[in-house]
Amino acid sequence: MSAEAPQYVAARVQRALAEDERTHELGIRVDVRGDQLFLRGQVSCEGRRETLAGVAHEAAPELKVRNELTVVEIRDPREEESL
């Protein structure tokens, strides 16, 4: 386990998710509790979900990544919205 404070580990992972050419992701919440790193938020597909988890693991290999990202359907903006 790293002696680095949890908030610094979370910030390092957030930065990696934002700067990595595979992800460039700003909308993911990263929380560190003990030896676990939680990813929370919404993504457009399963492949994106897995890529983000991989980048997070590379940024903090000492932690177990808990991928709680949810895949949401992105609708075509031309579709009519029904109320």
pLDDT tens digit sequence for 62-80? 999 999 999 998 777 776 6
Q: Does some domain include residue 81?
A: no
Q: Does some domain include residue 52?
A: yes
Q: Does some domain include residue 80?
A: no
Residue 1: C-alpha distances to residues 4, 16, 23, 33, 83 (Å)? 9, 19, 26, 12, 50
Q: Does some domain include residue 72?
A: no
Structural domain span for residue 52: 6-67
Please state the domain count of the chain. 1
How do residues 40-56 score in pLDDT, each as one tens digit?
999 999 999 999 999 99
pLDDT at 1: 45
Q: Does some domain include residue 32?
A: yes
Domain containing 48 — which CATH number? Answer: 3.30.70
Q: Does some domain include residue 15?
A: yes
Q: Does some domain include residue 77?
A: no
Q: What average pLDDT does range 23-29 have in this prediction? A: 95
The candidate with the shortest Cα–Cα distance to 28, out of 7, 5, 48, is 48
Question: HSE-up of 71 (CA within 13 Å, CB side)?
Answer: 8
